[in-house]
Amino acid sequence: MEAALNVLVFGSGAVGTLLGAHLAQAGQRVTFLVRPAAIDLLKAQGLTVQHKSYTIHVAHPTLATDPALALAQQPFDCVLLAVKSYDTETAALQLQEAGSSVPPIVCLQNGVDNERLLEERFGSTRVIAGTVTTAATQAAPGSVTVERIRGVGLAAGSAIAARLAAALQTTEMRVQLYTDAHAMKWSKLLTNMLGNATSAICDLPPSAVFAHAGLYRAEIAALRETLRVMHRLHTPVVNLPGMRVRLLASAITLLPAAWYHGFLAGQVGSGRGGKMPSLHNDLSAGRTRSEVGWLNGAVQRHALGCGINAPINHRLNEILTVLASGVRDRSDYQHQPDKLAAELGTQ
């Protein structure tokens, strides 16, 4: 019988808690890196993952607050990195303080550029691309609600990825290994973008975004720009655990937008299990940084690198970035879809 994995979960939000708790229940050794302000609460109440069909409760989780100290105290098989994309660089610096004791890093963040940043610091052989498609929310530290079970995607080709996949397959998670990590991450980017930036900017649920003709046109234009960039990069669209991304891409590429409006609106409404999109949640929480730069902003950066442009993605990134930073007031676009559509040229 293979020894249990020893995993360090870096990032105690919904994704880190979700995967860490599932692995702990499956008999793996898991240490959770948490904020110092939350450690007493988590020691007292443990970690809970709640789904309508099951509950996981880790009563006495192993907790740590210092990444370098945790890595120095024991050998880990891998780090599950689940921080926000704008915190990746800070996390990498904290891990570098551990020196040569840093194990392979499984990069679970949204966006397509985090792996490259990590590879520059730790080498390509020590970075494993990953993605989580299960929809989950965290109402309070250590308390996660699973809205919709899907699964996890991991880049194939390493012993650690194979062991981690095997461990996760003993849980409720569906797991798929991908030989093309870029295809996996770019395909997830397509799904992350749906009704995300527009929802945050206008402070509207995705259903309202897709019900507005001008914003719907903007959504489709942004996805088509992304698919053009993927084509220039020779990156195929692939299905993800529980997500038929190839069907979405084919419809957007081949069919008039009006033909799949109703279907796509329904998918966006149900795909997140009723929760608001991540960019909206960050802006509503008063965070001054936004992952939009790693989503729509990444599309524009890679478009320019390919010699083309992605104007809708560029403008969405620009607007949401200044709203988050406070340069512009959130009320400038709040509940004003006509204004945003006009600025995007899709009215």
| CATH number where 15 lies | 3.40.50.720
CA distance 265 to 204: 14
Report yes or no on 1 lying in a domain.
no
Number of domains present in the structure of the chain: 2
The dihedral region occupied by 273, where left means phi > 0, alpha psi between -120 and 50, and beta the remainder, is: left
Q: Which pLDDT score, from 0 to 100, does residue 101 have?
A: 80
Residue 275 reports pLDDT greater than 80: no
Strand order in the sheet with 62-64: 62-64, 29-33, 6-10, 78-81, 105-107, 127-132, 151-155, 174-178
Report yes or no on 133 lying in a domain.
yes
**Residue 259 is part of a domain; what is its CATH number?**
1.10.1040.10
Task: Quickly count: other Cβ atoms within 10 Å of residue 103's Cβ.
Answer: 19
164 and 31 housed in the same domain: yes
Q: Which whole number is the average pLDDT over 197-223?
A: 96
Range of the domain at 239: 187-344
CA distance 57 to 45: 9
219 and 149 housed in the same domain: no
Q: Which pLDDT score, from 0 to 100, does residue 264 have?
A: 81
Report yes or no on 41 lying in a domain.
yes
Q: Which pLDDT score, from 0 to 100, does residue 99 have?
A: 83
Report yes or no on 195 lying in a domain.
yes
Helix axis angle, 88-96 to 114-122, nearest 10°: 20
Give 67-125 pLDDT, tens digit per residue: 999 999 999 999 999 999 999 999 999 999 988 789 999 999 999 999 999 999 999 99
Q: Which pLDDT score, from 0 to 100, does residue 341 have?
A: 98
